[in-house]
Amino acid sequence: MQRTHTFNVYVPFIFLIALFLLTVVLCWRASIELLLNFTNDDAFFYLKTAANFATGLGSTFDGINPTNGYHPLWFLLLAGVYFFLNAFHPVSPEFFFRINFIAAFCMCLCASALVVQALRPIARVNNPQKFLLFFLFLIFICIRDVGLETHITVLLLAAYVYLVALEESRATSNMGTRAFVLAALFLARTDLLFTVIPLLIVLDFCLPTRCTFQKKIISYGFFALVVLSYYMLNFVLYGHLTSISGSLKNIFPEIRLVQNLTLFAENKIILARFLLPCIALGVFAVFLKTRTRSVSSNRRLDFTLLAMLVGGIAFCFLHLCFNADGIKGWYTGVPVFASLIIFTRMGLEPGVKNAWFTVFIVLYAAGYAYIDISRMTSTMLVPAYRYALDLNKITSPEARIFQIDISGVVGYFSERSVVNGDGLINSFEFAESLRNRTLENFLREKNISYYSTYTASAGVDGHGAPYYSDDRFYDYGGYLFSFPGDALIAGIPLHGTIPFLLFAFPWADINGYTPG
């Protein structure tokens, strides 16, 4: 019996190690094209900017314009890893991408281990089968958005949950460590400062703890110092308190809820990833109301999880209201992860019938699985990767390329100076040129060599081959780019439907200006 008990204790961790080894093998053996299905174009903003920073080019995506269009913690960690690897051998884009993939899985597995330790006292008996359901969620949820700040954020949330549980089980105080984790969480995703983080801080003052009020003030004083330092550093280096991406996307006090909800409803995957945590919130509220005994015995842990879930949902709602682009898929990472912990926590409660819990949780997991497996139908980044390789061959290392969209993948894998056209990983100078309608001056000053874009409109014949008229026109923020047919340098079809196009920039006519 004792041997069986010991085995059950280690089952979750054996499973973690097996997952880690499987991940390493798959990440190393899988093609780049396959791995691209689990990431986003914005992830490559991080990868290339971090690589440039680590090699001495500074905080820049294109090697031309300084930028702060990222959340700092993940950026600095990537730069450190790249610097370390590059010290031994030159790092190729593909190699660093694979390393990033493994790192994302490792963070998810570490988060899983922390959650297992945090929730183990609730079960009162070792029940590894229920914990394995949590890992099943992680497989489907956290393989998404590789390269973005989602995974480091998830790890820090798990660490915070673990510290709260540790305080309850050992009757100790980890106030200083929790404040440090919250500071790191802010640096991992700065806009959590307005939703998740304040809820956790308020909860800390509202619920009784073993920490004195004076120590709380000192600990959160450190947190406030980190926050102020971040904004002051931005102001000193860039002349603005916020990041360039936040500056471009933030439309406060204008409210764009109705318009964003329309786009939201059209994207069924993101809509589902938002609605499922809302379902979790309703179920957990009923659970807390009916389980009065569990509320009293695990009060702080339960309300910490509730604060994370409510804060995550509020985070998405704020972006729906004040973000010019609405919400992206990875914005749902916080509420999704919180809902996973909550469902696992409810299933571990003594008295919950295994059969009912298993049926419900399998249905819930199936919903998530369907949502995330549908990611495999996305094919945009694969041809962008192939286009980037072609771009590397047909342009010189000194070439400067202006690209409107999907500039992350193209800029990273082409190893060329690709200027990000939407401005999210560009400079405040570029953003000003858009606002003041002086983009032509910006392009002339930066000596842009090529214009790169793609089109989803008509332009493909019946056999899937792209065709081109004598002239091509692109309207970008009111700027009309006009190219004669012979200015086309390359056209790479996107699975026979969307061609990527590269034009010689001196042929362009922008608002009447022709670069010389």
* Residue 351 structural domain: 2-30+92-376
Residue 137 within any structural domain of the chain: yes
**Residue 137 pLDDT class (50, 70, 90 cuts):** low
Q: Both 267 and 151 in a single domain? A: yes
Is 70 within a domain?
A: no
Within-domain flag for 52: no
- Asked if 179 and 299 sit in the same domain, the reply is yes
Rounded (to 5) percent helix, strand, coil in the chain = 65, 10, 25
pLDDT, one tens digit per residue, over 422-442 is 878 888 888 888 888 788 788
Same structural domain, 493 and 406: yes
Work out the average pLDDT over 487-510.
Answer: 63
Q: Residues 311-320: what's their mean pLDDT?
A: 91
Give the model's pLDDT for residue 304. 92
- Looking at residue 511, its pLDDT comes to 46
Q: Are residues 339 and 388 in the same domain?
A: no
Is residue 97 domain-shared with residue 187, that is, in the same domain? yes
- Dihedral through CA 221, CA 225, CA 226, CA 231, nearest 10? 140
| Residue 294 sits in the same domain as residue 182 | yes
Domains contained in the chain, number: 2
Asked if residue 487 has pLDDT above 80, the reply is no
User: For 242-298, where are the alpha helices, taking DSSP H only?
Assistant: 244-249, 257-266, 268-290, 292-297
**Last residue of one domain, picked from the residues 326, 358, 376:** 376
Q: Write out 306-317 in H/E/C secondary structure.
A: HHHHHHHHHHHH
SS3 455: coil
Do 122 and 250 belong together in one domain? Answer: yes
Question: According to DSSP H, which parts of 142-195 are helical?
Answer: 150-170, 175-188
Question: In DSSP terms, which residues pair with 467 in a beta bridge?
Answer: none
Residues 210 and 285 in one domain: yes
- Report whether pLDDT(328) > 60: yes
Predicted TM-score (pTM) of the model is 0.86
Which of residues 342, 359, 376 is at a domain's end? 376
- 108 and 196 inside one domain: yes
Tens digits of residue pLDDT in 18-60: 777 777 787 788 888 888 888 888 999 999 999 999 999 999 9
Does residue 399 share a domain with residue 359?
Answer: no
What is the model's pLDDT at position 226? Answer: 96
- Asked whether residue 481 is domain-assigned, the answer is yes
| Angstrom distance (rounded) from CA 33 to CA 508 | 33
Amino acid 40: pLDDT: 86
d(Cα 406, Cα 52) in Å, to the nearest integer?
19
Say whether 30 sits in a helix, a strand or coil: coil
C-alpha atoms less than 13 angstroms from C-alpha of 291 in its C-beta half-sphere: 21
- Quick: pLDDT tens for 194-245: 999 999 999 988 887 777 788 889 889 999 999 999 999 999 999 888 888 8
Domain boundary among 356, 376, 396: 376
Residue 487 included in any domain: yes
103 is a domain residue: yes
Whether 119 and 174 share a structural domain: yes
Condensed to tens digits (0 to 9), the pLDDT of residues 140-196 reads 555 668 889 989 999 999 999 999 988 887 777 788 899 999 999 999 999 999 999
326 Ramachandran zone, left/alpha/beta (phi>0; psi -120 to 50)? left
Q: 418 burial class (0-12, 13-18, 19+ CB within 10 angstroms)?
A: buried
pLDDT digits (tens, 9 = 90+) for 340-352: 888 878 877 766 6
> Given this model, what pLDDT does residue 216 score?
86
Could you tell me if 148 and 249 lie in one domain? yes
Residue 205 lies in a domain: yes
Question: Pick from 79, 75, 20: which is nearest to 43 by CA?
Answer: 75
Dist CA 501 CA 212 (whole Å): 63
Q: Does residue 40 belong to any structural domain of this protein?
A: no
